[in-house]
Amino acid sequence: DTGVSQNPRHKITKRGQNVTFRCDPISEHNRLYWYRQTLGQGPEFLTYFQNEAQLEKSRLLSDRFSAERPKGSFSTLEIQRTEQGDSAMYLCASSSGTAYSNQPQHFGDGTRLSIL
Amino acid sequence: DQQVKQNSPSLSVQEGRISILNCDYTNSMFDYFLWYKKYPAEGPTFLISISSIKDKNEDGRFTVFLNKSAKHLSLHIVPSQPGDSAVYFCAASARMNRDDKIIFGKGTRLHILP
């Protein structure tokens, strides 16, 4: 399967714990994005990378959140000191090309985070 | 403030008929528009897109129409099939503004009736 892969698919943790999610993009894609989706809403942008450079972060990404893409391939999203409001589906997407090229983003199946 | 609005939370259409899903946007800087389809427990799947320099793009049973003056786009599916039952998200980005993130609407749940 050459699509976007996310692990784990589900994560249940207690409030206050740290969690880390992984995303493996489509191999030839240089851009990688993180989104968050809650019930009844569309995905909301969190941050994105071009290769290993983090180019933009949403104000939704509080200082408890950190994302990395150390070698320009896979990415991790870490949430420290989780709160109830962090419960959501975390989606990763990737795309090729530059900011001016009309290449769509392709999404993984997400990691569902549940905070007890 | 919702920059991309899908005002119909759900839509039911008879199998074989045309499904029309609507979307409005407020940001005049948006220049690239996309439709995604989502099944339960899966991520959104890209369906079709349109650049602001066009007013129509067609791919098989799917056609997207863009009316820039009205800041409105629509997705037509014809003929509708049972497998089209899913949540459809309208999305937009402002690429020429160096803004690559996608802004999504809340989605419309499409039910195809037998």
B36 interaction partners in chain A (CB closer than 8 Å):
107
Side-chain half-sphere CA neighbours of A59 within 13 A: 0
Is it the case that residue B96 has pLDDT exceeding 90?
Answer: no
pLDDT digits (tens, 9 = 90+) for A11-31: 999 999 999 999 999 998 999
Q: Which residues pair with B24 in a beta bridge?
A: B5, B72
**CB-based contact A14:A55 (threshold 8 Å):** no
pLDDT at residue B49, rounded to an integer:
95
Q: Residue B7 — pLDDT band, cuts 50, 70, 90?
A: very high
**Mean pLDDT for chain B overall:** 94
pLDDT at residue A1, rounded to an integer:
54
pLDDT at residue A71, rounded to an integer:
86
Whether residue B1 lies within 8 A of chain A, CB to CB, comes out as no
Contact criterion met (CB < 8 Å) for B43 and A107? yes
pLDDT at residue A74, rounded to an integer:
96
B10 interaction partners in chain A (CB closer than 8 Å):
none
B29 interaction partners in chain A (CB closer than 8 Å):
none
